[in-house]
Amino acid sequence: MESEPRCSAVFSPPLPPLLRSTYGHAASCQTDTSESHPPRPHCPAHREQPADMQIEEVKGATKEQRVATHSHIRGLGLGPEGSAEPVAAGFVGQEAAREAAGVVVDLIKSRRFAGRAVLLAGAPGTGKTAIAYAISQELGPRVPFCPTTGSEVYSSEVKKTEVLMESFRRAISLRVKETKEVYEGEVTEITPEEAENPLGGYSKTVANVIIGLKTAKGTKQLRLDPSIYESLLKEKVTAGDVIYIEANTGSVKRVGRSDAFATEYDLEADEYVPLPKGDVHKKREVVQDVTLHDLDVANAQPQGGQDIVSMMGQLMKPRKTEITDKMRAEINKAVNKYVEQGTAELVPGVLFIDEVHMLDIECFTYLNRALESNISPIVVLASNRGICTIRGTDDQRAPHGIPRDLLDRMLIVRTAPYTQSEIQIILDIRSKIEGLSLSPEALAYAAEVGAKSSLRYAIQLLTPASVMAHISGRSEIQKEDMLETGELFFDAKKSVAIVQSAGAQLL
C-alpha cells in the first residue's frame, strides 16, 4: 500500500527569520503535484516571469546654474602685457575698450583710483554691461561690486539722493583683521562632570565638561565651562564631529563630520571635512568684510529694548527710513580710527550705474559732490544715448544726457559696433554655453541676421530655433529652423515698419 505523499512545507519546523528568507523558497516548493496537493499559487517559481524587465538608472540630483545673459564672460581677456586678445575669456572684439578697462582694474587694485568716474558710451548691444561685469570678475569676490540702474533711485519713501548714497556706501568695504586663539580638532570624547546643586535638593548640575580634540599632529583634553557645554548641546556636537572653539569668547562652531566616518551611512546629510592639520591650539587670523551700508543699517536700527515703543515698532510694518548725515559722520569717524590703528583697511569697490541718462539734474548735481568726498568708490557709468535732453530740465541738451560739468570729471571709454564675423564668433560661443548645436549654414545665417538687426535679436532666436529643430526630429539647428523662427518673431526694425504701415489701425 502506497503511503500518502506529504508536503514538507507543511510539516517543516519553523525557521529563524534569517534562514527563512534563504530556505523559505525551497521549503515552499517541496510539494507534490497530485490533486490533493496542487502547486501553491504564491510561490515565485510558479509565477509567470515578465518578458522584459525595465531597469532605469537613478541619476543624482545635480545643481545646475541658470544661463544668464553674461554667463560666458569670465574676465576681460587681457594678455600679460595688458593687450587685449581677439577672442579670450568669452569676449570678442572691443580691444580698445577692454584695454582701457584693464587699466582701470589695475588702478583699482593699487588703490589709486578712488573717487573717479568712468563712462562707457556706445550703441545698444555693443558690450557696455559685459565690460562692467568683466571688471567685477577681474577684481574678484573680495572687492565689492554694486550694480544698479538709473531708474532705481526713485522711491516714494526716501529721497533720490539717499538711494544714491546707499549705493555709494554699499560699494565701499571695511576689511577687519583679527587674530583669534582657537582650539580645533575632531571630537573624541565629551564627558560632563556633575556636582551637587548649590541650591540644595537631589538634582545635580554640570560643573564642567571634559572634551577631547584630535588633529593630525596630536590630541589634547580640555576642561570647559558649563556655558560652553550648553553651546555644544545647541550645535548637536557628538563624537566624530570637527569643531573649533574660540578661546576668548567661548563660542563653538561645528564645521562638519570627520571624513573618517564617511562610509558609516549610505545616506547622510552631514558635510564631511578632513581631519584638521597642525596642533589643537592655534592662532588664526580671521578676515571679515563688511560694507559701510551694513554698518549704517546696524546703527540706525538697533535691536533690543523692552519698552512699549520698541515692541510696537517691531509689530508695525517696517518702513524704509533715511539714515542721517550725522550718523554717517560718526561711523566714518569710527572707521578712520580703526584704519589708523591698523586693525582694519578700507577697500573702495565699484558702483556701476547702467542707463545713467535716466538720472535727473538733481542726481547729477549730487554725484558731483559725492565724487569729491573723502570716502567714495569708483563709479562706472553706462549710456547708449547721443545728444539728448537732461531729465529734470526743459530744454537743456547734453551728450549722453549728462551735464557737461560732470562729463569733465569722467574718463570716457567708447564701445564700437560688432562686425559680422565677430557676431558669428559670439553666437558660436553663446550656443555652446546654452548647450545648442548649430550647423555652419545656420550659424552664418544667424550672424547675418545679427548684422542686419541686432546681436541681441540673433541670440534670442537660438533657443526658439532649437525647439523648432526638436519638433522636426533633429538635434542640430538648421538654416530652415532659423528662417521659420524669424518669420514667427520680429525684430525691432521690422516691428517699426509694420507700425508705420498700419497707420490709423493702431491707437
The pLDDT score that the predictor gives to residue 107 is 84
In CATH, what is the architecture of 420-505? Orthogonal Bundle (1.10)
Task: Specify whether the CB–CB gap between 446 and 431 falls below 8 A.
Answer: no
Q: What are the residue boundaries of the structural domains of the chain, listed by start?
A: 87-171+349-415, 173-313+320-342, 420-505
What is the percent of the chain with per-residue pLDDT over 90, rounded to a whole number? 11
Highest mean pLDDT of the ranges 23-32, 53-62, 237-246, 300-309: 237-246
Res. 323: pLDDT tops 90: no
**How far is the CA of 203 from the CAs of 92, 206, 231, in angstroms?**
75, 10, 21
Is pTM, for the whole model, over 0.75? no
* Rounded Cα gap, residues 429 and 431, in angstroms: 6
173-313+320-342 fold: OB fold (Dihydrolipoamide Acetyltransferase, E2P) (2.40.50)
Which CATH superfamily groups domain 87-171+349-415? P-loop containing nucleotide triphosphate hydrolases (3.40.50.300)
The pLDDT score that the predictor gives to residue 17 is 44
* Rounded Cα gap, residues 308 and 301, in angstroms: 16
Contacts of 284 (CB under 8 A, 6+ apart): 179, 180, 181, 182
Task: Specify whether the CB–CB gap between 165 and 370 falls below 8 A.
Answer: yes
pLDDT, one tens digit per residue, over 265-315 is: 655 567 888 888 888 888 878 788 888 888 888 887 665 555 555 555 555
Res. 194: pLDDT tops 60: yes
The pLDDT score that the predictor gives to residue 443 is 92
Task: Specify whether the CB–CB gap between 434 and 471 falls below 8 A.
Answer: no
DSSP-derived letter for residue 324 is: P
